[in-house]
Each structure stands twice: as structure tokens, then as C-alpha cells.
């Protein structure tokens, strides 16, 4: 090749590389106010492959954007998860742990001051127009005063509110604007004959067409109830739009090793569940089919949003984010239909981002969580991070993704739960299981270069779960030394599996228990939620589990584990946060013991008597579907 030609080509190459780098940096640079469309589904799984049934999501988001395959709901329940999305806080800091009652729902959100401390308020202050169409939180009903005080911060919003929020037909909406939040309109119930998801879509398109006319940046959230079960007047699985009913006859729950398994799994009551019979697995498969068909209406939203942005030349200035508040299980570990567990089906949710500077067709395994979404959107809006954020901005450029993926520092997600759960779909030793049971737990997902670990500590029975997800992606083999075993057999640890990823399990447990101690107490800038080792080793010489496993730290972790093991002294099943009963906490100055004066929590061993053993009168013993149809988990009871 002619040298001059080569040099010219080389110069062109350098120039174009610089331009690409510059535009990518520019997209992420604070000060640039990009618009954002956030599509948030309700109870959509990632682990049951629901996204495979959405061709527009595949084509316009996954192929054209980045798929964050290890994205987690910090609490696997609508209301706590949504508050984490909009505030950037973990539930142990925002304190909304339930969907209703004293510890959750709209009244609790108001009580915690969260109506004036969340994303749309901050975006408005930065000159954004903010719009919302669909379900925002739980419990936004007349009886909870939503017609007196409703959500703040929206330029305009149509919020699904009241008793029929979870009905797929005749949806009720409250029309909200930026001035009337303290004297809002009544809930409008005059949408007879409308299908909920398409009505949400119509409002959203109206907002989007208005927003693209102006130069102001905008934020639009589109939050249909799909594919949540139908609750209230009519109960059952989600109802697909008429044109899609019956269009996915072959859709089937993935036949993973944890689907209605022949061997027992989990701990506590899950361990005792009978295997589901054919009639029940058939019902679950029909439920799955209804979910995939209902999601096709959301797929239409993705296509139409893309079209409106494209037709108005706004695609280059707008991010599209797609996620779900929490995941869902259908038959895994012999459970029925539901959520609330620390199993991956319930906690690992879709997250896809497309937009300026975001790599196309990239799939990343970095760990991200809902608490990271508000920080990320503030970054997209060119705004500074807030000191109290528990989350951190998600990398959205090739360069930043490369850096995070290559980083030696470990990746964490902290998943917690305070509510109870039911097993109404199940039997134990042939008997129906009725009632609501304690399901409070603390858990940790920890992913490093050669390890992928899930660790769960339950309040009930102080039961522990430890899984090696690099070999056991579906959490069937509990490697904890105290794991249950079938009668006259030994558990995996006793049978000789005493290492995980090459680490001795006993020593590993001391380390990850300490990391969980930090994470269950983490708080904004004071105790960073993504740097547990920095708290445990303030001298800065330990940055990963691998570093912490060094034998020079054995004594330190022996001591920590003897004195500050994560555990509970009392269990609740109504969402109550009682920090004193949650064992030791981590503080800025180190570990602090829990309340030693509480009587230790014990359980009956007979599974039929496992309803609850709490002496606290605050526990909600009556557990029925509320009039506003907002009780969660009840669908384990239908059929
Ligand atoms: Ca949900």
C-alpha cells in the first residue's frame, strides 16, 4: 500500500475513533439533559424467559441496547421495590416493607415523607417535564386518602388508583397535575369497556406526542399492571388483550431442574411441600401462557414509543429503560404462583437500556439493582448524585461497562424481606396449607471473577441457604452445613461438599456473613452499599472476597462471627421493621450488637403448626384479600 494512502487512512481511523469516543463520553457527561422513557412492568420475570416472547423488546431494545442480565429487585414485592426504584433507597432505609397496612402502601409512603423525596421532584427542579401513566404505588385508594393527597412531582399523570387497579378491564384512573396534588381530582371510573394496558398506553402516547413538540427534556414512565394477576372483582391469572388471547398456545414454563422438582429444595416450609400434581402444573402452564399473551400488549407499547420518538427525531436524545418491579415464580421449588422469596425467579428482573451512547446488542453480567435506577436517571439528566442514595449509577457506555466488568472489586446485590407469605396452592403431607407464614430474611448475591454465590438467612428457624450459582443456577443444592436433608440421608456439606469455588465453606460463611452484616445496615454515603470490604477493612487492603479469604484474616472473622453473626431474635409476618430484633447492625464505627434482652425466637418443629410463633400483638393474624384487592400472595390460594 502507498505509504501516503496508508497514513491518510490511519488518520481517518484515528479521527473516527476520537469522534466515537467523544460522542460516547458526551452522552454520559453531566450537564446534558437527555429525555427518558421508562417502561415498568409488574411482576415480570427474567428467569422464566418472558422476554423471549416479546419480539419488539428483542428487536428494538435488546438488539439496539444493553441487557443487564443480573439486575435485582432489592425486595421482591411491588410496593417496597417501587419505592426503591423512585428513591434510590433500600427498604431498610425507606421503611416501606409491605403493600398495605401499617408498614406499606400509600399511607406509609406519605408518613415517611417520600412524596416529596423522589425522582420526579428532582427532575422537575432540573427543568424536566415529567409524566406518568399507570400504576405508581400500592394502596392509592379513596380509603387511604388519595383523593385528598396524591402523588407530587408530575407535570401530568394518569394514575391507576383504587379498588379496581388490578382489573384488566374498566380501569380507574386519577388525573394528576403539578398543582393539584393536595387537592386532586376524584378517581375517574368512566373507562368502561377499556382494556387496562391499552388505556395506559393511550395516555402515554398522548404525553409523548405532547413532550416531543417542545425543547424541554422530559421523563415519561409507562407502568401497566401487566403481567400481574387479576385481583378484586374478578380474580385469576392476567387477562390478555382480546386480539392476543390464545395466540401463544405452545408457551410453556421452562423445564429447569427446579421446576416442580422430584427432590426437595429450599428450607423451612418450602422444604416440606408436596410435589405438585399434573392438574396443578397444567394450571401453572396456563397461567404462563396468559402472562406471555398479556405481555404482547406491552410489546406493542415498546414498538409505538419507538415509532413516536423516531418520527419526531428524538431517538438520539432519548433513553428507553425497560424493567419490572419484581420477578415471579410458577412451580419452581414446588411453589405455586407468586413472588416474595430470595430465589432468582423472584429477585432477578429484566433491565434493558437503549439510547445515546449505549452499546447495541451488548449483554452484561455486572450486578445492578433497582436502587441504582434513580442515580442512573439523574446522571442521564446531567444532575449530581444525592448523598443519601444507596444505589449508584449504572454504566451505560462501552468504556464504563468495560471498566466495571474488568474491575477486581466484587459485585453485590442485597435482597431483603419483612412480609409473610402463604402456600395456599400447596399441600404438605397431603393436607392443604392455610394461613400466612413468616417469610422475613436477609440475603446477599455476590459475584466475582470465579464465584457466583447466593446466601440467605431466614428469621424462621434461623434457617440458612447457600448456593453456588456457577454450578447450580437454579438453587437446588443448599451447601450450608445446617441444610435440611431427606430422612436418613446427609446434606451436601455432610456428604463431603465442603468447598465452594475452591473456598472452604466454613471460612467462606464467616466472610459473607460479615459482608451481609454490612449490607443489611448500609446507608447512603455513610456506609456504602457496594463496598462491604472497605467497611470491614478500613485500611483499604481488602477489596474482594478473594482478598478477605486470606488466612491472615481468619482470626478477625472468627471473632466477628462469634460476636456479630447475622440473625433475628423475633419474627414478624406483616412487614414490621424492628431493627432491635434484627440482630447486630453495622455502624460507621463498626459492629453493634442487637438487643440482647429479647427472648430468642423459636418455632414448633411440626410443619402443621408453623403459622407463627411471635408474641407480638402487632402481627396481623387475619389475612384475607382486602376490599381494595391489594393483598399480595393470595393467588397461591386460587384454584
Ligand atoms: Ca409487582
State in Å: Cα 166 to ligand 1 middle: 11
Q: How far is the centre of ligand 1, averaged over its atoms, from the C-alpha of 505 (Å)? A: 35
Query: How many domains would you assign to the chain?
Result: 1
196 falls within a domain = yes
Radius of gyration of the chain (CA): 24
User: How many A from CA of 435 to the centre of ligand 1?
Assistant: 21
Strand partners, 39: 222, 322
Query: Measured in angstroms, how far is the CA atom of residue 599 from the centroid of ligand 1?
Result: 35
Distance (angstroms) between ligand 1 centre and the Cα of 504 equals 38
Q: What angle (nearest 5°) sits at the alpha carbon of residue 366, between those of residues 55 and 406?
A: 125
286 within domain boundaries: yes
pLDDT of residue 8: 53
Residue 216 lies in a domain: yes
Output the CA 513–ligand 1 centroid distance in Å.
Answer: 29
What distance in angstroms lies between residue 309's CA and the mean position of ligand 1's atoms? 28
In the structure grid, which three cell numbers stand for residue 551, read together? 488466612
Ligand 1 centroid to residue 314 C-alpha, Å: 30
**Measuring CA to CA, how many Å separate 485 from each of 186, 337, 482, 488, 493?**
56, 25, 9, 8, 10
Establish if 459 belongs to a structural domain.
no
Distance 72 CA to ligand 1 centre (A): 13
Centroid of ligand 1 to alpha carbon of 342 (angstroms): 15
Report CA(42)–ligand 1 centroid distance (Å): 4
459-475 burial string, b = 16+ CB within 10 Å, else e?
Answer: bbbbbbbbbbbeebbbb
Asked if residue 19 lies in contact with residue 273, where contact means CB atoms within 8 angstroms, the answer is no
For ligand 1, the distance from its centroid to the CA atom of residue 431, given in whole angstroms, is 29
Assigned domain for 42 exists: yes
Dihedral sign (CA 630, 631, 633, 636): negative
* CA distance linking residue 86 with residue 89, whole number of Å: 8
Distance CA 625, CA 618 (A): 19
Å from CA of 227 to ligand 1 middle: 9
Report CA(44)–ligand 1 centroid distance (Å): 8
Considering the domain boundaries, does residue 452 fall inside one?
no
Dump pLDDT digits (tens) for 68-121.
999 999 999 999 999 999 999 999 999 999 888 888 999 999 999 999 999 999
| 228 Cα: distance to centroid of ligand 1 (angstroms) | 7
Distance 87 CA to ligand 1 centre (A): 17
* Spacing, Cα 75 to ligand 1 middle (Å): 10
Structure confidence at residue 2 (pLDDT): 52
218 in any annotated domain: yes
**Domain of 139?**
10-406
Spacing, Cα 347 to ligand 1 middle (Å)? 11
The per-residue pLDDT for 601 is: 45
By CB neighbour count within 10 A (0-12 exposed, 13-18 middle, 19+ buried), where does 113 fall?
exposed
- Report CA(159)–ligand 1 centroid distance (Å): 16
Nearest-10 crossing angle of helices 3-28, 398-406: 80
Report helix, strand or coil for 529: coil
Q: What's the rounded Cα separation, in Å, for the pair 13 and 338?
A: 53
Residue 409's pLDDT is 78
pTM comes to 0.91
CA 326–ligand 1 middle distance (angstroms)? 5
- The answer to the question of residue 347 being in a domain is yes
* 148 Cα: distance to centroid of ligand 1 (angstroms): 25
Distance from Cα 394 to the centre of ligand 1, integer Å: 22
Residue 170: all three cell numbers together: 374498566
Distance 260 CA to ligand 1 centre (A): 23
Looking up residue 263, the CATH number of its domain turns out to be: 3.40.720.10
325 C-alpha to ligand 1 centroid (Å)? 5
- The residue among 42, 119, 44 whose CA lies nearest residue 84 is 119
Ligand 1 center to residue 618 CA distance, Å? 25
Can you tell me the distance from the alpha carbon of 131 to that of 179, in angstroms, rounded to the nearest whole number?
A: 14
**DSSP-assigned beta bridge partners for residue 176:** 157
Task: Report the separation in Å between the CA atom of 140 and the middle of ligand 1, taken as the mean of its atom positions.
Answer: 15
Residue numbers in the chain where pLDDT is lower than 70 = 1-31, 596-639
Indicate the DSSP class of residue 611: S
Distance 63 CA to ligand 1 centre (A): 26
CA–CA gap between residue 639 and residue 623 (Å, rounded): 18
How far does the centroid of ligand 1 lie from the alpha carbon of residue 78, in Å? 4
CA of 77 to the centre of ligand 1 (A): 6
Angle at alpha carbon of residue 367, lines to 527 and 484, rounded to 5° = 90
At residue 332, φ and ψ (nearest 5 deg) are -70, 145
Give 341 Cα–ligand 1 centroid separation in angstroms.
Answer: 13
How far is the centre of ligand 1, averaged over its atoms, from the C-alpha of 317 (Å)? 30
Distance 134 CA to ligand 1 centre (A): 13
Amino acid at each position: 500500500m502507498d505509504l501516503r494512502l496508508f497514513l491518510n487512512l490511519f488518520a481517518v481511523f484515528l479521527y473516527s475513533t476520537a469522534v466515537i469516543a467523544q460522542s460516547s463520553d458526551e452522552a454520559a457527561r453531566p450537564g446534558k439533559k437527555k429525555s427518558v422513557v421508562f417502561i415498568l412492568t409488574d411482576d415480570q420475570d427474567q428467569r422464566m424467559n418472558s422476554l423471549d416472547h416479546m419480539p419488539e423488546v428483542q428487536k428494538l431494545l435488546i438488539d439496539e441496547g444493553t441487557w443487564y442480565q443480573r439486575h435485582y429487585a432489592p425486595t421482591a414485592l411491588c410496593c417496597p421495590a417501587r419505592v426503591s426504584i423512585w428513591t434510590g433507597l433500600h427498604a431498610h432505609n425507606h421503611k416501606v416493607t409491605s403493600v398495605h397496612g401499617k408498614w406499606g402502601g400509600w399511607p406509609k409512603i406519605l408518613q415517611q415523607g417520600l412524596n416529596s423525596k423522589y425522582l420526579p421532584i428532582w427532575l422537575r427542579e432540573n427543568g424536566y417535564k415529567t409524566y406518568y401513566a399507570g400504576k405508581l404505588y400500592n394502596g392509592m385508594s379513596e380509603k387511604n386518602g388519595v383523593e385528598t393527597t396524591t402523588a407530587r412531582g408530575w407535570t401530568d399523570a394518569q394514575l391507576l388508583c383504587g379498588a379496581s387497579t388490578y382489573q384488566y378491564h374498566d380501569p380507574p384512573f386519577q388525573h394528576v397535575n403539578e398543582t393539584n396534588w393536595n387537592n386532586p381530582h376524584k378517581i375517574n371510573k368512566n373507562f368502561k369497556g377499556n382494556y387496562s394496558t391499552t388505556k395506559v398506553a393511550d395516555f402515554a402516547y398522548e404525553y409523548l406526542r405532547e413532550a416531543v413538540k417542545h425543547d424541554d427534556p422530559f421523563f415519561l414512565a409507562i407502568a401497566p399492571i401487566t403481567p400481574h394477576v387479576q385481583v378484586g372483582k374478578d380474580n385469576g391469572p392476567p387477562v390478555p388483550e382480546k386480539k392476543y388471547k390464545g395466540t401463544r398456545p405452545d408457551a410453556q414454563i421452562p423445564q429447569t431442574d427446579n421446576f416442580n422438582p422430584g427432590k426437595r429444595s429450599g428450607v423451612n416450609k418450602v422444604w416440606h411441600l408436596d410435589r405438585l400434581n399434573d392438574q396443578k402444573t397444567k394450571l401453572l402452564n396456563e397461567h404462563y401462557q396468559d402472562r406471555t399473551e398479556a405481555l404482547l400488549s406491552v410489546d406493542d407499547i415498546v414498538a409505538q414509543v419507538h415509532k413516536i420518538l423516531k418520527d419526531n427525531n428524538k431517538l438520539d436524545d432519548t433513553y428507553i429503560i425497560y424493567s419490572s418491579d419484581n420477578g415471579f415464580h410458577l412451580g419452581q421449588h414446588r411453589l405455586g404462583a407468586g413472588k416474595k422469596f430470595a430465589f432468582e425467579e423472584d429477585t432477578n428482573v429484566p433491565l434493558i437500556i437503549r439510547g445515546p451512547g449505549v452499546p447495541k446488542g451488548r449483554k452484561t453480567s455486572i450486578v445492578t439493582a433497582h436502587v441504582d435506577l434513580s442515580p442512573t436517571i439523574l446522571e442521564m439528566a446531567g444532575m449530581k448524585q444525592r448523598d443519601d442514595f444507596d444505589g449508584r449509577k449504572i454504566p451505560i457506555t462501552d468504556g464504563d461497562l468495560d471498566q466495571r466488568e474488568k474491575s477486581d472489586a466484587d459485585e453485590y446485590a442485597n435482597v431483603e424481606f419483612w412480609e409473610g407469605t402463604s402456600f395456599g396452592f400447596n399441600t404438605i403431607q397431603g393436607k392443604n396449607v392455610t394461613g400466612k407464614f413468616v417469610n422475613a430474611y436477609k440475603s446477599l448475591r455476590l459475584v466475582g471473577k470465579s464465584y457466583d454465590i447466593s446466601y440467605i438467612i431466614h428469621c424462621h428457624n434461623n434457617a440458612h441457604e447457600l448456593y453456588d450459582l456457577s454450578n447450580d443456577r437454579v438453587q437446588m443444592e443448599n451447601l450450608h452445613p445446617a441444610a435440611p436433608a431427606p430422612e436418613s440421608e446427609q446434606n451436601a456439606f455432610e456428604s463431603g461438599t465442603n468447598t465452594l469455588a475452591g473456598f472452604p465453606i466454613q471460612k467462606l460463611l464467616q466472610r459473607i456473613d460479615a459482608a451481609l452484616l454490612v449490607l443489611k445496615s448500609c446507608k447512603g454515603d455513610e456506609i456504602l452499599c457496594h463496598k462491604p470490604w472497605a467497611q470491614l477493612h478500613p485500611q483499604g487492603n481488602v477489596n474482594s472476597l478473594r482478598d478477605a479469604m486470606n488466612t491472615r484474616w481468619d482470626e478477625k472473622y472468627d471473632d466477628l462471627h462469634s460476636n456479630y453473626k447475622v440473625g433475628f431474635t423475633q419474627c414478624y409476618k406483616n412487614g414490621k421493621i424492628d431493627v432491635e430484633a434484627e440482630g447486630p447492625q453495622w455502624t460507621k464505627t463498626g459492629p453493634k450488637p442487637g438487643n440482647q434482652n429479647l427472648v430468642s425466637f423459636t418455632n414448633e418443629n411440626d410443619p402443621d403448626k408453623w403459622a407463627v410463633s411471635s408474641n407480638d400483638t402487632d402481627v396481623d393474624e387475619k389475612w384475607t384479600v382486602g376490599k381494595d384487592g391489594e393483598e399480595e400472595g393470595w393467588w397461591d390460594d386460587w384454584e
